[in-house]
Amino acid sequence: MGGAFLAAAVLARLGGRIGLPTIPLFILAGILLGPHTPGYTLLSNPHDLEMLSALGLVLLLFYLGLEFHMDDLKTGGRKMAIAGGTYLALNVGAGLGFGFALGWGTSEALVLAGVLGISSSAIVTKILVDLGRIGNPETRPILGIIVVEDVFLALYLAALQPILSGADSLSAMLVDAGKAFGFLLLLALAARFGTKIIGKLMNTRDDELLVISFLGVAVFVAGVSEMFGVADAIGAFMVGLMLGSTTSGERILKLVHPLRDAFGAIFFFAFGLSIDPGDLLSVFWPVLAAVVLTLAMNVAAGLAAARIYSFGTQATANIATTLVARGEFALILATMAAAAGLDNRLSPFIAGYVLLLAVLAPLAAGRSHWLARILPGGRGGPDGGGKDGDKDQEQIPVSV
């Protein structure tokens, strides 16, 4: 355990010096110290970290639920819904087509649709903060698209779970899907109408009791969710949605942050342990094709969002490059696919795809002015970007 934390920390510190996000570095630490790489093996059996890895996944989605508020869907209204829907249609649609083109199977294609279609909110947020773009006009639609993606993810995972569980017949699959959506609806109603009661039950001035309480609820509901065919991570997300709206929400957000970081690192590290670098070579060309496809779809989505919001070319380039990163959600799908016994090429494909885009995304976002110059009407430099590039440049307060 200590070695896993230290290895992840050392690589993350080194990567931070050149501006790389932590997620691909945590995965790389697991690959380098895993049983499939020559040299020192820290853990010969990745399953030794299975429970801690599951806890990391639960805390990642629990934290995301805390940050997400139902009011976020109302802010930005129609434009946000159209921009988010357009992004998902382009990227999820392209991912589904790509999955079928590979010919690995229908279930595999459905997994790849989610992998290629959904951005990493953790990396996107980090890029915005690191580049000082939180107050930029285009940041609001970027975060709006992330919110729409989060809602889609919850529904997509709930729908995908019965398919991956291998229901024996259509009726059995419908029953499983009904149980999953019924439980999800119950959690959604509790989040919408039970906030006051839940808030009173959770309320305490003692931080120790509050930590034990919200951890107990999040992990317990995640476990019950699995019994109803809902991914444990989505159960945790719904608990975060409930608790985030209570009077203790802000305190819980602060208290869970270091826990999320610590156990989230173990989740990414454990995923790296399961990857055989030799397998990455076998999926090199599919990974490269998927990366090119994702870059193209993000440029198209950036152009669409810019048209909706009347932005110039620099803002268009910022949207396109910032949303490129794929991370935690792709790895959640990889974990589900592995548990369902799907094609064994999926895990190395997703690992290579996430690693490559997680490295490319911050580099591309920092040099988005290069893209702005080649977009239609783009002749501006880093601060230019067309006639609307500097439109409405006042600092817009955005909650991250």
For residue 69, what pLDDT band results from cuts at 50, 70 and 90?
Answer: low
Cβ atoms 382, 350 nearer than 8 A:
no
- Give the pLDDT of residue 298: 94
Joined tokens for residue 205: 């001035």
C-alpha dihedral over 96, 100, 103, 106, to 10 degrees?
A: 80
Q: What is the pLDDT of residues 74-105, one digit of tens each?
A: 555 678 889 999 999 999 999 999 999 999 99
| Buried-state track 257-274, b at ≥16 Cβ within 10 A, e below 16 | eebbeebbbbbbbbbbbb
pLDDT at residue 307 tops 80:
yes
Q: Side-chain half-sphere of 122: how many Cα atoms within 13 Å?
A: 26
* DSSP H or E run through 111: helix 106-117
Among candidate residues 31, 9, 12, 32, the one with its CA nearest the CA of residue 22: 12
Long-range contacts of 278-283 (CB under 8 A, 24+ apart): 278/36, 279/344, 279/345, 279/347, 279/348, 280/348, 280/351, 280/352, 282/345, 282/348, 283/345, 283/348, 283/349, 283/352
- Residue 392 — left, alpha, or beta (φ > 0 → left; ψ -120 to 50 → alpha)? left
Q: What is the pLDDT of residues 330-355, one digit of tens each?
A: 888 888 888 888 998 998 999 899 88
pLDDT at residue 6 tops 80:
yes
Q: What is the pLDDT of residues 358-399, one digit of tens each?
A: 888 888 998 899 999 998 876 644 444 443 444 443 344 444
- Give the pLDDT of residue 21: 75
Q: What is the pTM of this model?
A: 0.74
